[in-house]
């Protein structure tokens, strides 16, 4: 059982929904990013989604693209991202960390070496948005064998014919993208999301977590109420980008987490 599996078991037992927060590793610099990540569990975050900076983040809107750019300009690399996770683990051995990013840096490192290093650093799962199920032999299946969850995205365009293929080797949870488009664009609507979550859950026992387009505590509550939890990324990244101190960003995160936990 991974930390992700254990966290969802704990939440189910307590009758709670999950709040997942996305932050870009190294934005705006390593130390600030580490301070923020260390503070997330205390702000009510159940699972940390840690962005791996990449030069061509095609699924992300401008807020997260700019965060990745700032991180890369500050010297953030795959090694430094793993170092950040490893340092976090020195004080927290229970909060799950999911690394979200693109395949190119992993391919360049070599899959076997990357998985060994990720596991050693305390990474629990991967969301690699540009690897479709047809490429599962490339990373998904080796990751599962190494003890990491491989989390797949389902979207509003994932129809009933495609969905079983998407779910086939997914583990940890299913990430449902609530809107058609990039991160930080339109706002998610619970009335649209609810039926889609039910459709996915009819075909899997995995938790379904909804992300994209969630920006407020009320939206966090509304979306979590029709799913097993929600993810907020761009709204948190934007708070940090505005120059606010980490303590203020964490206070904002807590309002979002409280919203999800009220669901």
The residues that are catalytic are: 49, 60
Determine the Cα–Cα distance for residues 218 and 211; give it in Å rounded to an integer: 14
3-class SS at 194?
Answer: helix
Which ranges of the chain does DSSP label H, i.e. alpha helix? 3-14, 30-39, 62-73, 78-89, 103-109, 111-121, 140-145, 163-167, 190-201, 217-225, 234-241, 246-262
Phi, psi of 52 (to 5 degrees): -95, 110
Cβ-based neighbours of 140, under 8 Å, separated by 6 or more: 131, 133, 150, 169
Determine the Cα–Cα distance for residues 121 and 191; give it in Å rounded to an integer: 39
């Amino acid at each position: 059982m991974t930390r992700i599996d254990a966290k969802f078991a704990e939440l189910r037992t307590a009758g709670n929904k999950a709040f997942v927060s996305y932050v870009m590793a190294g934005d705006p610099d390593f130390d600030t990013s580490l301070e923020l990540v260390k503070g997330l569990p205390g702000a009510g975050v159940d699972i940390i989604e840690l962005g791996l900076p990449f030069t061509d983040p095609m699924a992300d809107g401008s807020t997260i693209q700019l965060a990745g750019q700032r991180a890369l300009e500050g010297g953030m690399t795959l090694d430094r991202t793993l170092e950040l996770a490893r340092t976090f683990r020195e004080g927290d051995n229970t909060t799950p960390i999911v690394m979200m990013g693109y395949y190119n840096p992993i391919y360049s490192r070599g899959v076997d070496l990357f998985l060994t290093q990720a596991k050693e650093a305390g990474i629990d799962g991967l969301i690699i948005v540009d690897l479709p199920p047809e490429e599962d032999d490339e990373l998904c299946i080796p990751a599962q064998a190494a003890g990491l969850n491989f989390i797949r995205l389902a979207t509003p365009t994932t129809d009933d014919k495609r969905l079983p293929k998407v779910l086939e080797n997914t583990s940890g949870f299913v990430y449902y993208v609530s809107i058609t488009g990039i991160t930080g664009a339109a706002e998610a609507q619970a009335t649209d999301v609810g039926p889609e979550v039910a459709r996915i859950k009819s075909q899997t026992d995995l938790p379904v977590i909804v992300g994209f387009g969630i920006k407020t505590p009320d939206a966090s509550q509304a979306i979590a109420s029709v799913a097993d939890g929600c993810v907020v990324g761009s709204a948190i990244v934007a708070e940090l980008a505005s120059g606010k101190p980490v303590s203020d960003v964490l206070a904002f995160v807590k309002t979002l987490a409280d919203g999800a936990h009220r669901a």
